[in-house]
Structure 1
Amino acid sequence: MPAHEKLNYLEFPAVAPEATKAFFAAVFGWRFVDYGPDYSAFDGAGIDGGIYRAPIAATTSNGSMLLVFYSRDILATQAKIEQHGGRIIKPLFSFPGGCRFHFLEPSGNEFAVWSEKAGENSEY
C-alpha cells in the first residue's frame, strides 16, 4: 500500500521514448508497460513512474529537479551508461561523503549517480 503523503510516482519527459526505454532497461534494469504511443510506465527503479513523449528535456540548467541514482560501483555504472548511449556532462567529482557524476540519457534528460567512493584505483 502506498505511504500516506510520501512520494509515490514520478514522471519525466522523453523526446525519444523508445531510446529512453532501451537505455534504462539496459543500464538499470527498468521494466516498461506501454499505454499508447506517448506514455510508458516503469518499475524496478526504486520508485515507480512513467515517461511521456515531449519536445523538451529535463535538465538542471532549465530548472528541473535532479534525480540521483546510488551505485555501489560508480565506475562500472558510468561505463554502462556510456556503453548504452548516455553522455557524461559533469565528470566524476568528490563532495563531502562521496563522489558523483551527471549524465544525459538518449532523450537529453539529466540524471546523476553518486557513491561513497569510486573504487580502490580512483582518486575519489
Structure 2
Amino acid sequence: MNSHHTINYLEMPVNDIQSTKRFFTNVFNWDFVDYGPDYSCFLNAGITGGFYTSKQQFTLIKGSPLVVLYSNALTQTLQQVIAAGGIVSKDIFSFPGGHRFYFLDPNGNEFAVWSEKFA
C-alpha cells in the first residue's frame, strides 16, 4: 500500500544485475522482476525497489545511507552472506537494541544485517 510521505521505493546501483539477483535470492530469498537488461525490481524485501546497471557503488565511507536488513538468525545470515560471495566489512557487534554486522555485496555495495539477539 502506498502511504503519503513515506519511503516508497529504493533504487541501487550494481555492476552486474545477474550476480546481484543470485546473491540476494540465495541469501535473503528475494524475488525479482526484470525490466530490460539494465534494471531489475526486487520484491519480498520489506520495501520494493530496484537494481540498475551502473559503475557506482555505495558505502558508508562515501557517506551513503546504510540499508539495514533484519535476520532472526544473525550468525546463520552472516555465514550465508560469505557463502554467496559477500565480504564482511564489520563483524558482528552489539549496539543498543541488538547486534549487527556490515557486508559488501558482490558489487561492493555496503549493507547491514541486525537482530535483537546474537544467535
TM category (shorter chain) comes to: over 0.9
How far residue 60 of structure 1 moved from its aligned partner, in angstroms, is 0.8
- Report the secondary structure of 2:77's partner residue: helix
Instruction: Please say which structure displays the higher CA radius of gyration.
Output: 1
What amino acid does structure 1 have at the position aligned with 2:112? A
Give 1:26-37 correspondences, 5 Å limit. Answer: 26-37=26-37
Which consecutive segments of 4 or more residues in structure 1 shift more than 2 A?
none
1:76 maps to what in 2? 76
TM (norm. structure 2) is 0.96
1:112 aligns with 112
Query: Structure 2 matches for 1:16-95, cutoff 5 A?
Result: 16-95=16-95
SS at match of 2:90: strand
Deviation at 1:99, TM superposition (A): 1.0
**1:61-106 residue CA offsets vs partner (Å, 9 max, x unmatched):** 1111000011111001111111111110101111122111100011
Alignment partners' CA distance in 1, 2:80 and 2:116? 19
* Cα drift, residue 21 of structure 1: 0.8
Q: Which runs of 5+ in 2 are unaligned?
A: none
- d(CA) in 2 for partners of 1:16 and 1:89? 20
SS in 2 for 1:82: helix
How far apart are the structure 2 equivalents of 1:62 and 1:46? 25
Query: Residue in 1 aligned with 2:11?
Result: 11
What TM-score do you get using the length of structure 1 for normalisation? 0.92
> Match of 1:122?
none
RMSD: 0.9
Asked if the contact 1:104/1:111 (under 8 Å) is kept, the reply is yes
SS at 2:22 equivalent = helix
Q: State the aligned residue count.
A: 119
Structure 1, unpaired ranges of 5+:
120-124
Percent identity for Structure 1 against Structure 2: 52
In the TM superposition, residue 33 of structure 1 has moved relative to its aligned partner by: 1.1
Corresponding letter in the other structure for 2:107: S
Distance in 2 of aligned mates of 1:110 and 1:16: 15
Note if 1:100 corresponds to 2:100: yes
